[in-house]
Amino acid sequence: MSGYITGLENLHIAKMNDDGTYAAPVKIAGSVEASVTPSFNFSKQYGDNKMVDMTKDLSEVELSFTVNDLDPEAYELISGETKNTDGVIEDSGTTSNTYFALGYEATKSNGAKRKYWLYKGMLTIPEESYTSKTDSTEYQNVTITGRFIDNGSGKWRARIDSDDSSADPMITDEWFLAVYPNTVTV
């Protein structure tokens, strides 16, 4: 297994059902950039005027994804809003408290893929920024942020490398058909 991370693609989200399973994943177009930042709480034990032990526990995982755009269906899914009879999405002051799983893959220099699922998190209404057109076109992107926690069994993420000899090829080939392993403890 070798190769270095060279790219990002195939962002998917899947709504978490009340029973802890997931709806079918939905692909979000055009992954541009991602940042996944786990935060830990450290606890320290002191004795005899010095630190004698330390533990760490996952607090939450901050997520930021920049994508080319969100089509209306993806926006409805993330925001929890729906189109009215005129086909207009009206954002309200109350936002969705829906949990999602989020999957993506990093491309590697050897042609392989590193694939991920983050199991349980909430996403915010996307951040949008616009700039007037000048002499040259400057593309505008959309940023999705969120916070993820463990899924109730202590797990917060699944990761697999397609070039790992112990990886089941069927799992890597079907990674985005369902959230791995498509059940969680709520």
- The region of weakest confidence among 5-14, 132-141, 152-161 is 132-141
Residue 92 within a domain: yes
- Residue range 22-43: mean pLDDT, rounded: 91
Task: Domain count for the chain, please give it.
Answer: 1
Sign of CA dihedral 31, 74, 128, 101: negative
- Residue range 103-123: mean pLDDT, rounded: 95
Residue 168 within a domain: yes
CATH of the domain at 130: 2.40.30
Residue 109 within a domain: yes
Q: What is the pLDDT of residues 63-95, one digit of tens each?
A: 999 999 888 999 888 888 889 999 999 888 776
Residue 178 within a domain: no
**65 touches 33 (CB < 8 A):** yes
- Residue range 137-156: mean pLDDT, rounded: 89
SS3 170: helix
Residue 182 within a domain: no
Q: In the prediction, which pLDDT does 95 show?
A: 67
Sign of CA dihedral 88, 91, 97, 100: positive
Strand partners, 67: 31, 142
Strand partners, 141: none
Cα-Cα-Cα-Cα dihedral of 65, 71, 72, 75, to 10°?
-10
- In terms of C-beta density within 10 A (0-12 exposed, 13-18 middle, 19 or more buried), how is residue 132 classed? exposed
Element spanning 34, H or E: strand 31-47
Domain that holds residue 18: 5-173
Q: Which is more confident, 93 or 131?
A: 131
- In terms of C-beta density within 10 A (0-12 exposed, 13-18 middle, 19 or more buried), how is residue 163 classed? middle
